[in-house]
Amino acid sequence: QVQLVESGGGSVQPGGSLRLSCAASRSIFSIFSIYPVGWYRQAPGKQRDLVAQITRGGTATYVDSVKGRFTISRDNAKNMVSLQMSSLKFEDTAVYYCNVHGPNRDYWGQGTQVTVSS
């Protein structure tokens, strides 16, 4: 029943880079390709916040704290959305989730842990 799967998380030092990927299952290919896909993150004890979002046509938006450092992109042929993270800060430490708001429900991945520490 898992229809979105995140990968690419790990531990990095401040200033490092990491690339996250979100892959959609075949059952939601159409939804994934039509509706905006977003990356959210949640640190312990804090709410889950939208970090970046990309539309069907490739228009990207970002939360102010990651502008200039993160880049969201999509590969429609592979049914995948990626988040390239650079110049990472300890404040970026969180579990990162992929999400798409479908017509009848929200779809969430299981999350992938990103830890930035020295």
pLDDT at position 1 over 80? no
Q: Which two tokens stand for residue 96?
A: 């990162």
What is the rounded average pLDDT for all residues in the chain? Answer: 97
Which residues, at least 6 apart from 117, have a Cβ–Cβ distance to it below 8 Å? 11, 13, 14, 90, 93
**Which pLDDT score is estimated for 25?**
96
Strand order in 4-7's β-sheet?
A: 4-7, 18-24, 80-85, 70-75
**Which pLDDT score is estimated for 76?**
87
Q: Which two tokens stand for residue 88?
A: 């990472």
How far apart, in whole angstroms, are the C-alpha atoms of residue 74 and residue 49?
20
